[in-house]
Amino acid sequence: MIDARDLTKRYGATLAVDRLSFTVRPGAVTGFLGPNGSGKSTTMRMVMGLDAPDGGQARIGGRPYQQARWPLREAGALLEARAFHPGRTGRSHLRALAAANAVPRSRVEEVLGMVGLESAADRRAGTYSLGMAQRLGIAAALIGDPAVLLFDEPVNGLDPEGVRWIRQLMRRLAAEGRTVFMSSHLISEMAQTADRLIVIGAGRLLADTTVAELSARAGGNLEDAFFALTADTAQYRAATEGGF
């Protein structure tokens, strides 16, 4: 379970996250939606202890993530592609993470198989395509077999087969009883993958509901419901009428 209470983060004059509270429960895929710059990545970074909040707190399994003795056995996250040393091979990157978290080496081969990177495991990770880098990041998130998983834009850079694979992986992880929290800009993808949605705008909570309930607000069209919900908070929306 992920619990955020009054999370707040400022960058200079920008209030990136504004007293945000929500709970992400196990056994479901919870989508995290919001316009560009609404604070999704910042929120995920604070949950994972990578950014310190200016106010409020985030807990994973009841305590701050920084207090975990073996962090990757509590929660795994894909927060940015290429979060690895480019000169290391995929396999050596995963072995280092396993060693640091007292995870058996055999788990490295398991996760390489799960993400389909076996044949590229001995190549330097700096030579990986974006999609391969995403797969390595997902393998890293899974290495400690954690109950809680966060994925920031996991389908970024993946081909259609990869997108389908992510959808099935998210569903499977949730069916295993894990807490799965994922952001994506692809609303159609969210509609197919997520059970629940947390929608934010300008750092604030706009909705915490099911996909079905939010879609029903716009006659079954999740995209229309999302636009209606976020209309007042989107900073970077291009003109769709008139304009140019």
Q: Which of 16, 125, 133, 222 binds ligand ATP (CB under 6 A)?
A: 16
Quickly list DSSP for 44-96: HHHHTTSS--SEEEEEETTB-GGG-SSHHHHEEEE-STT-S-TTSBHHHHHHH
Which CB sits closer to ligand ATP, 12 or 87? 12
Closest distance of CB 95 from ligand ATP, Å: 30
Which CB sits closer to ligand ATP, 16 or 94? 16
Which residues, listed in sequence order, are joined to residue 209 by a DSSP beta bridge? 197
Tokens 């099911």, located at residue: 210
Asked whether position 14 contacts ligand ATP by CB under 6 A, the answer is yes
- Separation CA 81–CA 130 (nearest Å): 7
Binding characters for ligand ATP, 22-61, by CB under 6 A (x = yes) = ------------x-xxxxxxx-------------------
Number of residues counted as binding ligand ATP (CB under 6 A): 11
Closest distance of CB 37 from ligand ATP, Å: 4
- Separation CA 20–CA 70 (nearest Å): 27
Q: How many CB atoms lie within 10 A of CB 39?
A: 24
Which CB sits closer to ligand ATP, 47 or 111? 47
Which CB sits closer to ligand ATP, 97 or 182? 182
Q: Which of 11, 105, 176, 237 binds ligand ATP (CB under 6 A)?
A: 11
Q: Binding segment for ligand ATP among 10-18, 88-96, 134-142, 161-169 (CB under 6 A)?
A: 10-18
Q: How many CB atoms lie within 10 A of CB 51?
A: 18
Which CB sits closer to ligand ATP, 89 or 183? 183
Closest distance of CB 45 from ligand ATP, Å: 8
Closest distance of CB 100 from ligand ATP, Å: 25
Asked whether position 103 contacts ligand ATP by CB under 6 A, the answer is no
Asked whether position 230 contacts ligand ATP by CB under 6 A, the answer is no
Helix segments in 176-210, DSSP class H: 187-193
Q: Tell me the helix, strand and coil percentages in the chain, rounded to 5.
A: 40, 25, 35
Asked whether position 21 contacts ligand ATP by CB under 6 A, the answer is no
Of 146, 190, 201, 181, the C-alpha closest to 23 is: 181
Closest distance of CB 145 from ligand ATP, Å: 27
Strands 75-78 and 14-24: unpaired
Asked if 215 and 221 count as a contact pair (C-beta separation under 8 A), the reply is yes
Site for ligand ATP, rule CB under 6 A:
11, 14, 16, 34, 36-42
